[in-house]
Amino acid sequence: MSVFHNVKGEGTMEVRMTPLIVSALVAGCSATAMADFQSISWTMSSSSYGDTYLVYADLDSGGQLNAVYGDNVNALTISSDGGFYQTPSWSVDTTFALNPSLIAVFPSLAYDSWVTIGLEDNVGNNMLNIGIDFTDFNSGGSLWTDNGSWFATPDDAQVHEVNGSVLIGQFTVASGDHVFGSLNMQGKNADLSNWNADGIAFDTAPAPGALALLGLAGLAARRRRK
């Protein structure tokens, strides 16, 4: 069962979804403390470029998201049915490289696929990344790492939740495709104690067949690490 909130705009439909199945997967996959982390949610809007998903980490009030990462215990993987849209020749992999003034020149950049901590462009953006090879992702393929992270420090305003959420990525896929994966996160609670959430699985179309694909993706990641 999922909770849906629909927002209609001119020529687009935006759907905010927080699947209850994510909470069950969190409880089953992670043995680390994650009092501040609640779920992964997303919005979806449609355009001539396909379906664009904004993916969020949902946190308690006053919480922070400091890092999204993969390690040798739980690899990070973000995939789709048919690949991600990336703007030819001008694709960015993180919002640290996304100058909003370029969108007026290259409108397709508004639908580019990227990862982030909190921000949709590079204005005031202090996010860094380490250990991630974005080559496949920039070509429209999956994002995968077992020794990499994108992150910002507790001193950076972008790590703080806004209306209970912190943006972690935008992913544009062909109409009807879904985005799925598994990732690890860490941050701080309102009292500045630390939280971790490891091996968190999500799927923008959590049907039984999609979850089976997610299981296969996890198996492939484990085999790749050996």
For residue 206, the model assigns a pLDDT of: 59
Residues of the chain with pLDDT under 70: 1-35, 206-226
Single-letter code of the amino acid located at 166 = V
- pLDDT given for residue 36 in this prediction: 83
DSSP H/E element including 224: helix 208-225
Residue 8 backbone dihedrals phi, psi, to 5 degrees: -100, 135
Number of C-alpha atoms within 13 angstroms, CB side, residue 90? 16
pLDDT score of 207: 55
Task: Give me the pLDDT at residue 144, please.
Answer: 97
Contact yes or no for 184/69 (Cβ under 8 A): yes
pLDDT given at position 129: 97
CA dihedral 158, 39, 169, 189 (to 10 degrees): 20
For residue 45, the model assigns a pLDDT of 96
Instruction: Catalogue the long-range contacts made by 4-13 (C-beta closer than 8 Å, 24 or more residues apart).
Output: 9/45, 11/47, 12/45, 12/46, 12/47, 13/44, 13/45, 13/46
